[in-house]
Amino acid sequence: MPRREINSELPSELGINDARTFEVFGYHAIDVHPNSAKKVVVNCPFCGFEYERIRHRITTRCPTCVYRKEPWPDLTKVLDDVETLRQFGYTAYSIHPASMQKVAYRCTGSCENIHVRYRRRLNDTTLCRACTTSDRATEAVKTARMKTLLEHYGNPNKAFGKTEEELRTLITSWCPDTLPKAQSLSNGQGLDILIPNKKLGIEYCGLAWHHECSPSPRPRNYHYNKMLVCRKMGLQLITIFEDEWLYKRIQIENILKARLGIHSMKVGARECQVEEISSYQASGFLENEHLQGGTNRILSAWGLIYEGRLIACATLSPHHRQNNNDVLVLSRLCFASGVSVTGGTSRLIDRLSSSARDLKASMIVSWSDNRWSTGAVYERTGFTLAEELPPDYSYVLVSKPRERISKQSQQKSRTGCPENTTEHEWALQHGLARIWDCGHKRWELPLT
């Protein structure tokens, strides 16, 4: 391979965008690759190996050193970002073994974990995924936070965010008598939204503040106990998680309208035709109207048809823990937005019961979510309460809590969790925290 002497102008001549980083770490650009102007030939100062690199990847480390797992020498002194790390309570630990563009740093908070991040991302305030910055933030960080609150909300003591304000404004437009935030409950807690004449309370749960590792931790029974307090006061509490409002807003609005009695059309069940519909039709309807969307493995689906339009749907599915059809599941029951059908639920349940008997089932089961309902619709249609289920959990990523993660996806068998470590401990090590709901109720409808 032809070679020429290296000179001080070579990095600029080669067009190396990160020439300073390249030189700081001790590597030498020897020549442009003879077969490609996009490549350069590099000499490793540690092992003497010469190798080729595409220019935009010139900051990756020598492949021989990476293969041998040879550690970097102490190069933290050359990092421009040490002050940034120190500002947020971290210690620059070492350069990443495979890339000059990454740095390992040790959290000086309670977890003391070692993390890796691209150097260009070290300005992110939430550097540690296993804990928050609240206990490590310096005065400079707190001042910046105060400035953000003033710019976004005009109030440094703002107790809620933009999305909660959107929900509050919407509810107030529907019900002008809605009371402001912080109405006290009997235990001293407050409700985000209270509508006295509807005997309805609404709790909006931002994911950053309502998990177990938030600055004000919400333990297992936090939401459940608030629901019980409201129930004793004669109030129904609806608990909405932030990701539901962000990504399923239309469905949330439909649920709230139904609970508040806001309907654009009211019909009787006798005015509708009850027809068996295809799983394709049912899934399409449920994706648009139901909070949980469609469902797989539909055995039977029935709908209410009014003037040629599908306005309600109920589906029957196999039990997720049984391989036979002895017990089937009422998996979805949903009405179109703004439509109230008097007696519609009973007619749909009757048809599903007939279908279940044809499939030789002896029972239909279903679950109600305490965050949304008391399950009264099941009692009215012949179901009996079989079991009160305690609060259940999902996960959120502490550094970016924008969407809940199912607990099933974090099972030990799916995440490579060591045998001597619990799922909870493993999740915490990977920056995941549990967020709890209000529990469920299991209902049964015998068919004998």
CA-to-CA distance for 16 and 209, rounded, in angstroms?
45
CA-to-CA distance for 164 and 280, rounded, in angstroms?
35
pLDDT tens, position by position, 301-315? 999 999 999 999 999
**Residue 226 confidence (pLDDT) above 90:** yes
Tell me phi and psi for residue 105, to 5 degrees.
-140, 150
pLDDT tens, position by position, 315-332? 999 988 777 778 999 999
CA-to-CA distance for 133 and 213, rounded, in angstroms?
11
- 405 contacts 211 by C-beta, under 8 angstroms: no
Domains parsed from the chain with CATH numbers: 10-67 (no CATH), 74-153 (no CATH), 162-260 (3.40.960.10), 267-446 (3.40.630.30)
H or E segment and range at residue 164: helix 162-174
What confidence tier does 2 reach under pLDDT thresholds 50, 70, 90? Answer: very low
CA 237 to chain centre: 22
CA-to-CA distance for 186 and 65, rounded, in angstroms?
65
**Residue 282 confidence (pLDDT) above 80:** yes
User: Mean pLDDT highest for which of 1-15, 87-101, 290-304?
Assistant: 290-304
Question: Whose structure tokens read 């679950």?
Answer: 367
- Which of 98, 42, 103 is CA-nearest to residue 65? 98
